[in-house]
């Protein structure tokens, strides 16, 4: 499959300190790739290198088949979308006027404004001045701005961090629809549930190095003890190994009608992250 | 270069300017200055040195001041990053953002010139000088905006630069530096002084000196823009 992003041995140093240490990964076209890690782990630096805001100190980068020297071209810019903590809106202008500017800069018909406002659940806010919007609403306008030109590849840095669960769910649906339409999504998030829900693959970045890179399911399987947790009606909580010897024990409990609940031991992405890095995730 | 993108940036800036009265006030300053000077001077013809104090001040306060405020606000509030990240080129952004400043400058200049006597400005040499002054002060404002770290810091930069480049004829008039000393002779080469010389019948060389100043300002603005494109 064609690659949207190819990174080989990329490092980035700022003076004496190294933010990224020789990382390498590919993101396939049409994939949702999650980069997970605490603050200072190198997530933003990675996005900045991939969007041409920063130059890598070493290694090779290709995004949508282009080398960093071509990242400044109008053609490349019209194929990518970016929502980061550096994204901002014109506070004195209305939501509509903000999006109108970017429609015209990206050569997109103005009808797209209503379409994208519906996607981010902001149809009723089109005439509101940005300065009067809540933080969550501003975040949704920023997301609309990043997606207004239907980019081939979009970089989303914490897209739902300021949103309530209802609006976050709305955005998740919108991102899944966008991905179904063929857009590749590069996502950074602290929200492990969000990563598990949306991402085809995730990478754990810690102190500038990749600790793990695989699908959420594969990671959960890898870090599972594969034991069964059984809760009986008498209140007992049993941990039974997954193996031929345990089959009789489980059969006995089921036959006796004592099993109240039974599940396998699959850790969450958050638990895996803690195990891999030994570091708390930022909330 | 894309006229569609330039007009999009212009339209956005115009809407933003009209909602920001603080940026409209400087446009009136040269007009008030012209009215005051007109009352004070009792000669039939407005003295050229006084006219160029108004014109220099106008370009410094309106041209540099407007573009400086707009650009530094864009930089501080990180909206400039959105423009840089869009398909708009550096030239699209600079021209688009300069158009509102151009309208503000033209409005202020025409009214001020009508007060001090517009007739003396209507010749090719003077009009060419005014265009070069506009470009020089525009690029100076862009450079200061992109160079400074915050909107507050731009004020600190604007004051000395406005005085030095905008009010150069006043420095001479107040005898702050001896006219025939090194500093005095250097000040004589400054853009507004060259425009004044041209106005008083100087040669085309003055226009050449002004063009060099403008080219220097363009180079500095370009370097500052390159840095801003990397820093956001």
**Chain A closest-CA separation from residue B98 CA (Å):** 17
Question: Between chain A and chain B, how many beta carbons pairs sit less than 8 Å apart?
Answer: 63
DSSP letter, residue A125: G
Residues A133 and A98 in one domain: yes
pLDDT of residue B27: 87
pLDDT 10s digits, A186-222: 999 888 889 999 999 999 988 888 888 999 999 988 8
In which band, very low, low, confident or very high, does the pLDDT at B230 lie, cut at 50, 70 and 90?
Answer: low
Half-sphere exposure of B205 (CA within 13 A, CB side): 4
Instruction: Give domain status of residue A273, yes or no.
Output: no
Residues A47 and A155 in one domain: yes
pLDDT (average), residues B94-117:
90
Residues A75 and A165 in one domain: yes
Residues of B in contact with A102 (CB under 8 A): 82, 86
List the CATH number of the domain containing A180: 3.40.50.300
**pLDDT over 70 for what percent of chain A?**
98
Asked if A82 has any chain B CB less than 8 Å from its own CB, the reply is yes
Residues A158 and A206 in one domain: yes
pLDDT at A278 over 80: no
* Complete DSSP assignment for B115-156: HH-GGGG-SHHHHHHHHHHHHHHHHHHHHHHHHSSSHHHHHH
Asked if B119 has any chain A CB less than 8 Å from its own CB, the reply is no
Q: Cβ distance B232 to B84 under 8 Å? A: yes
Asked if B149 has any chain A CB less than 8 Å from its own CB, the reply is no
pLDDT of residue B113: 87
pLDDT at A1 over 80: no
Distance CA A153, CA A264 (A): 37
Instruction: Give domain status of residue A271, yes or no.
Output: no
Q: Which residue of A has its CA nearest to B228?
A: A53
Residues A172 and A54 in one domain: yes
Residues A162 and A253 in one domain: no
pLDDT (average), residues A154-179:
86
Instruction: Give domain status of residue A272, yes or no.
Output: no
Taking the complete model, does pTM exceed 0.90, yes or no? no
In the numeric block, the tokens 């600190």 are attached to: B156
Distance CA A152, CA A106 (A): 13
pLDDT of residue A61: 94
Separation in Å, CA B102 to CA A61, B27, B116, B147: 42, 11, 21, 22
Partner B, chain A 182-201, Cβ-Cβ below 8 Å? none
Q: Is A96 helix (H, G, I), strand (E, B) or coil?
A: helix
What long-range pairs does A173-176 form, CB within 8 A, spacing at least 24? A174/A119, A174/A120, A174/A143, A175/A32
Q: Which domain holds residue A108?
A: 89-148
Which residue of A75, A88, A101 is in closest CB contact with B8?
A101
Residues A51 and A68 in one domain: yes
The enclosing H or E element of A19 equals: strand A17-28
Asked if A25 has any chain B CB less than 8 Å from its own CB, the reply is no
Instruction: Give domain status of residue A102, yes or no.
Output: yes
Q: Of B95, B170, B186, B179, nearest to B139 (Cα)? A: B95
Residues A3 and A73 in one domain: yes
Half-sphere exposure of A234 (CA within 13 A, CB side): 6
Which residue of B12, B85, B89 is in closest CB contact with A82?
B85
Which residue of A54, A78, A107 is in closest CB contact with B4?
A107
Q: Which residue of A has its CA nearest to B89?
A: A74
pLDDT of residue A283: 43
pLDDT (average), residues A156-172:
85
Q: Is A200 helix (H, G, I), strand (E, B) or coil?
A: coil
pLDDT of residue B24: 83
Residues of B in contact with A106 (CB under 8 A): 86-87
- Average confidence score pLDDT of chain B: 86
Q: Which residue of B has its CA nearest to A103?
A: B8
Inter-chain CB proximity B87 and A74 less than 8 Å? yes
Asked if B83 has any chain A CB less than 8 Å from its own CB, the reply is yes
pLDDT 10s digits, B190-213: 998 888 888 887 788 888 999 999
In which band, very low, low, confident or very high, does the pLDDT at A282 lie, cut at 50, 70 and 90?
Answer: very low
Instruction: Give domain status of residue A188, yes or no.
Output: yes
Q: What are φ and ψ of residue A268, in 5° steps? A: -80, 165
Number of domains in chain A: 3
Instruction: Give domain status of residue A84, yes or no.
Output: no
pLDDT (average), residues A103-117:
94
Partner B, chain A 231-260, Cβ-Cβ below 8 Å? none
pLDDT of residue B231: 61
Residues A73 and A212 in one domain: yes
User: Does ipTM exceed 0.90?
Assistant: no
* Other CB atoms within 10 A of residue A236 CB: 11
Inter-chain CB proximity A92 and B20 less than 8 Å? yes
In which band, very low, low, confident or very high, does the pLDDT at B180 lie, cut at 50, 70 and 90?
Answer: confident
Instruction: Give domain status of residue A197, yes or no.
Output: yes
* Other CB atoms within 10 A of residue B98 CB: 26
Q: Which residue of A has its CA nearest to B12?
A: A101
In which band, very low, low, confident or very high, does the pLDDT at B5 lie, cut at 50, 70 and 90?
Answer: very high
pLDDT (average), residues B90-98:
90
pLDDT (average), residues A243-257:
83
Residues A232 and A261 in one domain: yes
Residues A105 and A188 in one domain: no
Partner A, chain B 208-227, Cβ-Cβ below 8 Å? none
Three-state secondary structure along A231-253?
A: EECCCCEEEECCCHHHHHHHHHH
pLDDT 10s digits, A46-62: 999 999 888 899 999 99
Residues A9 and A73 in one domain: yes
Q: Which residue of A has its CA nearest to B88?
A: A105
In which band, very low, low, confident or very high, does the pLDDT at A279 lie, cut at 50, 70 and 90?
Answer: low
**pLDDT over 70 for what percent of chain B?**
97
* Other CB atoms within 10 A of residue A73 CB: 14
């Amino acid at each position: 499959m064609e690659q949207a992003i190819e990174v080989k041995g990329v490092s980035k140093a700022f003076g004496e300190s190294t933010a990224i240490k020789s990382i390498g990964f590919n993101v396939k076209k049409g994939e949702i790739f999650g980069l997970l890690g605490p603050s200072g782990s190198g997530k933003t630096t990675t996005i900045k290198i991939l969007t041409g805001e920063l130059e890598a100190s070493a290694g090779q980068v290709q995004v949508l088949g282009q080398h960093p020297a071509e990242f400044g071209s109008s053609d490349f810019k019209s194929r990518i979308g970016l929502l980061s903590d550096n994204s901002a809106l014109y506070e004195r202008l209305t939501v509509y006027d903000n999006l109108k500017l970017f429609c015209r800069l990206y050569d997109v018909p103005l009808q797209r404004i209503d379409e994208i406002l519906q996607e981010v659940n902001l149809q009723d806010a089109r005439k509101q001045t940005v300065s009067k919007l809540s933080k969550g609403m501003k975040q949704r306008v920023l997301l609309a701005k990043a997606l207004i030109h239907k980019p081939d590849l979009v970089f989303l840095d914490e897209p739902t961090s300021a949103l309530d669960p209802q609006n976050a769910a709305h955005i998740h649906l919108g991102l899944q629809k966008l991905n179904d339409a063929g857009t590749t999504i590069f996502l950074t998030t602290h929200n492990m549930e969000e990563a598990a829900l949306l991402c085809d693959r995730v990478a754990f970045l810690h102190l500038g190095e990749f600790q793990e890179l695989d699908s959420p399911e594969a990671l959960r399987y890898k870090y599972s003890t594969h034991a069964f947790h059984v809760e009986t009606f008498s209140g007992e909580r049993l941990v039974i190994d997954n193996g031929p010897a345990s089959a009789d024990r489980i059969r006995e409990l089921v036959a006796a009608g004592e099993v109240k609940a039974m599940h396998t031991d699959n850790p969450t992405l958050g638990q895996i992250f803690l195990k891999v890095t030994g570091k708390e995730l930022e909330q | 270069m894309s006229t569609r993108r330039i007009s999009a940036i212009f339209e956005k800036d115009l809407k933003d300017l009209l909602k920001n009265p603080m940026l409209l006030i400087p446009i009136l300053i040269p007009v008030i200055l012209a009215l005051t000077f007109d009352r004070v001077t009792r000669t039939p013809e407005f003295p050229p040195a006084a006219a160029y104090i108004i014109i220099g001040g106008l370009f410094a306060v309106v041209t540099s001041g407007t573009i400086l405020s707009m650009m530094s606000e864009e930089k501080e509030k990180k909206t400039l990053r959105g423009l840089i990240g869009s398909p708009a080129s550096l030239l699209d952004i600079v021209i688009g953002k300069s158009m509102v400043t151009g309208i503000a400058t033209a409005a202020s200049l025409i009214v001020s010139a009508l007060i001090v006597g517009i007739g003396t400005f209507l010749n090719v040499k003077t009009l060419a000088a005014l265009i070069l002054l506009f470009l020089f002060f525009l690029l100076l404002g862009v450079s200061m905006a992109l160079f400074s770290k915050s909107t507050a810091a731009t004020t600190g930069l604007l004051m000395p630069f406005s005085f030095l480049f905008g009010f150069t004829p006043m420095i001479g008039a107040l005898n702050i530096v001896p006219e025939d000393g090194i500093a005095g002779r250097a000040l004589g080469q400054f853009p507004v002084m060259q425009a004044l010389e041209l106005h008083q019948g100087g040669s085309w060389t003055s226009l050449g000196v002004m063009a060099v100043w403008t080219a220097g300002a363009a180079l500095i603005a370009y370097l500052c823009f390159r840095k801003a494109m990397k820093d956001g």
